[in-house]
Structure 1
Amino acid sequence: MENITDKIQANHPLASLTTFKIGGSAEYFFELTNKEDVSEIFAWAKDKKLNITILGGGSNVLINDQGVKGLVVLMKNEKIKVSGKRLEVEAGVTLNNALSLALSNNLSGLEWSKGIPRATIGGAIRGNAEAFVNSMSDIVETVLVYDRSKNIFENYSNKMCDFSYRQSIFKKNLDLLIWSAVFKMTEKEKKEIEEKAINSLNFRIEKYPQLPSAGSVFMNLDPKIVEKSNKKLYDEILCHKIGRLGTISVGLVIDMLGLKGKTIGGAKISLEHANFIVNTGNATADDVAQLISLIKTTARDKFGIALHEEIQYIGFI
């Protein structure tokens, strides 16, 4: 039987595992596929006094050019099955693969996610991914979680996940590892599901940049906070720009700052959508971090508005 230490790799490159195509190497790297390995790999890291970083599909992250100290665990558990009107999926399954299985069984609930690059179930639940007035919280029934602090697996109900806009308990409590989930789906005509999925895909192709990126850089804005920060700007313009989810597009605000197209090194604020920073070919994490800092500083100085990142920084501390 193969020892778990035989599966651990040293100095493993990470850039190709991200949608940004940016970043250095992991000091130690492990692909997690079996539930039986969970407690053992965490115990190994604890014994070595190593920090642990969980990586899914590699979207919504920015990895340091100098790499990541400690152990990087790549979620490669990819079992998936249909049980009646429920979809049982492990964290390493991509949203697109989950949608494909749902579609073949006439199950609706994930068609809004079509075209999100490489996003996995674990990452989507953690960040409560959403689009077109739909979100992961709408379909999550239960989540099987490994609690590092207790060394046990526990089932979390939807309520226990503490979902909110782009948030969940899994972002707040880093001891919790999402292993799998059960989605409560709705039975619909395949043609209707296909049509919505195609519309979602076409929207992303038309509106979002096709160059490598991490997806949305910042979270959209709460109108109440914007009004408090800059009442004049809110009353004259932004109060008329509140979207279907009750937020104000941060891409619009960045565009109003005149930053669309701004470039530092190989990183560029996308011309297609200002809440995306794209890798034009040779961008470094430092290039991206400088652009993010420029956007935040300009928004604060010009509009008095504080922006908050949606992307996760890995290896920067």
Structure 2
Amino acid sequence: MEQVVKELQDAQVGKVLVREPLSRHTTMKIGGPADIMVIPNGVEGVRKTLQLAKAHHMPWTAIGRGSNLLVSDKGIAGIVIKLGEGLNSLEVQGTTVRVGSGYPLVKLATLLSRQGLAGLEFASGIPGSVGGAVYMNAGAHQSDMANIVSRALILFADGTMEWLTNEDLEFSYRTSVLQKKRPGVVLEAELQLQEGTRAETSALMQKNKDYRRVTQPWDHPCAGSIFRNPLPDYAGNLVERAGLKGYQIGGAKISDLHGNFIVNTGTASAQDVLDLIAFIQNTIREQFGVDMHTEVEIIGRQ
């Protein structure tokens, strides 16, 4: 591993950290160490990192701002690539927006709403990055990224880069082609928005923020929605009907505000959260005959 670290540093890929606790990089404040973490200084830093990972037969994992993630207490093997400040470019031309994958989604939504561009207001309370939002087709308030992404620049493990169109990305409910069929790193996204007015877009942004503030527990570390909605029902509704709100295992607790959120009360381990997820799944299956599937991505050593 020392040789890989040296080669990454020599290649000037960006910041290179060893045994970095992922609890510092996830919104749930949970997660063991990454063998190696790279915070790339740009697209070339990401490309060189993947190149070295391939040369040394090391697994790699890309993360953004760490929302929608539950990282194992044992951490993540290989190289973790954290997309952030090195990939936060932004270019606005009319209603077309080109933005780096590391750009914070809430910051982008706020900025564009102030310019009177409509279409991203749904993201006003989603604490992820643009890349993660494309990867999982993030959404809220009856809208999602599939409605506004025209194309995305993807770096694949073999070193090739390709612009995938909206159709190529095969968006569906909280998924895209990048999750299983064509794994890769989102480098940039092109969004197609609509003309609006600053008053209208800002008002909708504020309405969405206020709704989230009242209904979701953002005052505690959490990962966002734990389960996909088993449509036509809703995960939070089923958890509430089962009487599980407030139920706790170790430091992990089902939110008193929203049944589809698990919060870290301060001492939660990943195992606490996994045990609580399994308890919810079993209870909902027994009471309602419904299988609950996780929306949060569970990664790391098992």
- The two structures have a TM-score, normalised by structure 1, of 0.88
Q: Which residue of 1 aligns with 2:150?
A: 141
- Alpha-carbon separation, structure 1, partners of 2:31 and 2:156: 28
Q: Which residue of 1 aligns with 2:273?
A: 288
- Say whether residues 1:12 and 2:35 are aligned partners: no
**Once the two structures are superposed, what CA deviation does each residue of 1:37-70 show, in whole Å capped at 9, x if it has no partner?**
2321112112222111111110000011121111
1:92 counterpart letter in structure 2 = G
Q: Which residue of 2 aligns with 1:81?
A: 91
1:295 counterpart letter in structure 2 = I
Q: Which residue of 2 aligns with 1:131?
A: 140
Distance 1:71 1:288, change over 3 A: same
Cα deviation for residue 302 of structure 1 reads 2.5
- Alpha-carbon separation, structure 2, partners of 1:112 and 1:159: 21
Q: What is the aligned residue count?
A: 291
**Once the two structures are superposed, what CA deviation does each residue of 1:116-138 show, in whole Å capped at 9, x if it has no partner?**
22x10011111111111111111
| Conserved 8 A contact 2:148-2:192 | yes
- Alpha-carbon separation, structure 2, partners of 1:34 and 1:120: 15
**Once the two structures are superposed, what CA deviation does each residue of 1:269-310 show, in whole Å capped at 9, x if it has no partner?**
111001000011111111101000101111222222111000
Of 276, 279, 297, 2:261 maps to 276
| Conserved 8 A contact 1:4-1:41 | no
Q: Which runs of 5+ in 2 are unaligned?
A: 1-8
- Alpha-carbon separation, structure 2, partners of 1:279 and 1:6: 31
Q: Which residue of 1 aligns with 2:39?
A: 31
- Alpha-carbon separation, structure 2, partners of 1:71 and 1:165: 29
Q: Which residue of 1 aligns with 2:241?
A: 256
Of 202, 205, 230, 2:210 maps to 202
- Alpha-carbon separation, structure 2, partners of 1:290 and 1:103: 40
- Alpha-carbon separation, structure 1, partners of 2:269 and 2:126: 23
SS state at 2:125 partner: coil
Q: Which residue of 2 aligns with 1:58?
A: 66
2:74 counterpart letter in structure 1 = Q
**Once the two structures are superposed, what CA deviation does each residue of 1:128-180 show, in whole Å capped at 9, x if it has no partner?**
1111111111110111111223x211111111110111111111235321110
- Say whether residues 1:311 and 2:288 are aligned partners: no
295-304 vs 51-60, which moves further: 295-304
Q: Which residue of 2 aligns with 1:299?
A: 284
| Conserved 8 A contact 1:91-1:122 | yes
Give me the identity figure in percent: 35
- Say whether residues 1:21 and 2:6 are aligned partners: no
Cα deviation for residue 6 of structure 1 reads 7.7
- Alpha-carbon separation, structure 2, partners of 1:220 and 1:181: 26
Of 64, 80, 87, 1:72 maps to 80
Matches within 5 A, 1:180-259: 180-209=188-217, 210-222=219-231, 247-259=232-244
**Once the two structures are superposed, what CA deviation does each residue of 1:219-271 show, in whole Å capped at 9, x if it has no partner?**
0013xxxxxxxxxxxxxxxxxxxxxxxx3211111112221111011100111
Distance 1:208 1:5, change over 3 A: closer
The 4+ residue runs of structure 1 with deviation greater than 3 A are 4-7
CA RMSD of aligned residues (A): 1.6
1:54 counterpart letter in structure 2 = A
Of 107, 112, 115, 1:102 maps to 112
**Once the two structures are superposed, what CA deviation does each residue of 1:71-91 show, in whole Å capped at 9, x if it has no partner?**
100012111120121111111
Q: Which runs of 5+ in 1 are unaligned?
A: 223-246
| Conserved 8 A contact 2:240-2:259 | yes
- Alpha-carbon separation, structure 1, partners of 2:301 and 2:111: 37
- Alpha-carbon separation, structure 2, partners of 1:158 and 1:125: 10
11-20 vs 172-181, which moves further: 172-181
Cα deviation for residue 34 of structure 1 reads 1.1
- Alpha-carbon separation, structure 1, partners of 2:268 and 2:248: 10
Cα deviation for residue 2 of structure 1 reads 5.3
| Conserved 8 A contact 1:87-1:102 | no
